[in-house]
Amino acid sequence: MELFRRASKVIPGGIYGHASPAAGLPNAFPYYAERAKGCKYWDVDGREYLDFMCGYGTISLGYGHPAVEEAAAKQREKGSIFNHPSALMPELAETLTELIEFADWAVFGKNGSDMTTWAVQVAREFTGRKKILKIQGAYHGVDPWCTPGSGGIIEEDVAHIHPFPWNDLEAFQTLVARYRGEVAALIITPFHHPSFGDSEMPEEDFFQQIEKVCRKEEILLILDDIRAGFRLALEGSHTYFGFEPDIACYCKALGNGYNISATLGREYLRVSATKVFLTGSYWNDAVSMAASLICLREMQSAKLPSHLEKLGRKLIKGIGNEALGHGFKMRFSGPPAMPFMRFADEKNFFQLQRFCALAATEGVFLHPHHNWFLSAAHTAIDIDHAIEAASRAFALLAKEQ
């Protein structure tokens, strides 16, 4: 709190963005992290937390994973930022295009937004069309065309961005018909994971219908796999749901905390891709690419998606049962590997915030309005501990009522 008071003097809001305590757990700690290892972290007051956010998904193998750190350290001896790429860049592009079958090429950036914004430009360049369809409430980054905020946004930023509700094929087809011949792309996440709202899985045949219409109308299908990528399927989340995008953007899980994002695309977009300027001083960073290469290998040997699904199922079943035992009913949504939890009858998030604050005092960090993340470092025993802590938090919450 002392740090937050200091920060509030020199940083607007003290802490901003996704880590803002005001939006997450207001007046409940942790606010500042001190260190992390595996699936645990410690705040600046020395309190330990069993973590279910994994650096908002960037930690796929566990904090400070030995093999990734070793590869990064080895590359760091040689250097990270040069005037040129390193040999790791073609190697990483080869690895990714082999793993993710639909893709013929790859490019790299730093933020998820770097990639979604560029992908939208490539689609506009390729099609010569302006309009972009997206899902209502879907998060694709902070750039003006897609930011969830309204501050500083002008009407021109979103003049050709047209949202429709998740799973609403009729609304999608209405937009396609209204703007026939004007739509460059649909950008979509593999499942709907808004903040402050239940996750929604695609209905039977949703993506197949989407894909069919896109092919027919020559609308590019951009998969924003930044949040879910490598957690549902190592070969790309589209393989989990049975469709094929034209372009896909990845980030989070790709580097186990080392800063990298990637866009993969099909052969026929290659020329358009070279026409949309893409660069950043740090984007050829060899250390992140070394980390990413090992991270991909380790996610494969850990069989990450099935590991996360198994532990996720155990977690939501256990927490759900403990809730019932204390007179609460929880609703879980989204894939078990990235679950979203709320109180079944609560329309706002106040009780959930209180529960998560109590869970934090019991040593488990659970987020009240964002899907959770697990990692390869979590074990069945960690899940048991989390369920026990949640049980104690439910007991405290029941007492407060």
Considering only residues 104-143, where is the footprint of a copy of itself by CB under 8 A?
A: 104-107, 110-114, 117-118, 120-125, 130, 142-143
Output the CA torsion 244→249→252→257 (10° steps): 130
Output the CA torsion 192→350→51→189 (10° steps): 10
Q: Using the structure block, give the residue that is written with the tokens 């989340």.
A: 237
Under the binding rule (CB under 8 A), the answer on residue 318 touching a copy of itself is: no
Q: Which range binds a copy of itself by CB under 8 A, 79-87, 189-197, 241-249, 337-345?
A: 79-87
| Nearer to a copy of itself among residue 117 and residue 237 (C-beta) | 117
| Nearer to a copy of itself among residue 265 and residue 312 (C-beta) | 265
Tell me which residues in 210-239 interact with a copy of itself (CB under 8 A).
none
| Nearer to a copy of itself among residue 196 and residue 282 (C-beta) | 282
Q: How many whole angstroms separate alpha carbon 139 and alpha carbon 188?
A: 9
| Nearer to a copy of itself among residue 149 and residue 204 (C-beta) | 149
The residue count of the chain comes to 401
Q: How far is the CB of 261 from a copy of itself (least distance, A)?
A: 9
Cα→Cα distances 122→128, 194, 271, 396, Å = 10, 25, 9, 52
Q: How far is the CB of 376 from a copy of itself (least distance, A)?
A: 16
Q: Is 148 helix (H, G, I), strand (E, B) or coil?
A: coil
Q: How far is the CB of 120 from a copy of itself (least distance, A)?
A: 7
Q: How many whole angstroms separate alpha carbon 73 and alpha carbon 287?
A: 8
Cα→Cα distances 15→40, 105, 117, 156, 350, Å = 22, 37, 25, 29, 21
Among 68, 93, 187, 299, binds a copy of itself (CB under 8 A): 93
Under the binding rule (CB under 8 A), the answer on residue 81 touching a copy of itself is: yes
| Nearer to a copy of itself among residue 227 and residue 307 (C-beta) | 227
Q: Which range binds a copy of itself by CB under 8 A, 204-212, 236-244, 270-278, 296-304?
A: 270-278
Under the binding rule (CB under 8 A), the answer on residue 257 touching a copy of itself is: yes
| Nearer to a copy of itself among residue 181 and residue 242 (C-beta) | 181
Under the binding rule (CB under 8 A), the answer on residue 361 touching a copy of itself is: no
| Nearer to a copy of itself among residue 117 and residue 189 (C-beta) | 117
Tell me which residues in 279-298 interact with a copy of itself (CB under 8 A).
279-286
Among 137, 144, 318, 363, binds a copy of itself (CB under 8 A): 144
Q: How many whole angstroms separate alpha carbon 318 and alpha carbon 15?
A: 33
| Strand pairing category for 33-37 and 330-333 | unpaired
| Nearer to a copy of itself among residue 132 and residue 323 (C-beta) | 132
Q: How far is the CB of 180 from a copy of itself (least distance, A)?
A: 18
Closest CA relative to residue 340, chosen from 359, 364, 363, 319: 319
Q: How far is the CB of 206 from a copy of itself (least distance, A)?
A: 27
Task: Count interface residues toward a copy of itself (CB under 8 A).
Answer: 107
Under the binding rule (CB under 8 A), the answer on residue 252 touching a copy of itself is: yes
Q: Which range binds a copy of itself by CB under 8 A, 169-177, 269-277, 300-308, 375-383?
A: 269-277
Where are the alpha helices (H) located in 128-202, listed in sequence order? 169-178
Q: Is 365 helix (H, G, I), strand (E, B) or coil?
A: strand
Largest CA distance in the chain: 63
User: Within its chain, how far is the Cα of 25 from the centroid?
Assistant: 20
Q: How many whole angstroms separate alpha carbon 110 and alpha carbon 285?
A: 9
Tell me which residues in 16-55 interact with a copy of itself (CB under 8 A).
16-19, 30-37, 41, 43-44, 51, 53-55
Q: How far is the CB of 102 from a copy of itself (least distance, A)?
A: 14
Q: How many whole angstroms separate alpha carbon 361 and alpha carbon 367?
A: 13
**Residues with Cβ within 8 Å of residue 400, at least 6 apart in sequence:** 354
CB 401 within 8 A of CB 343: no
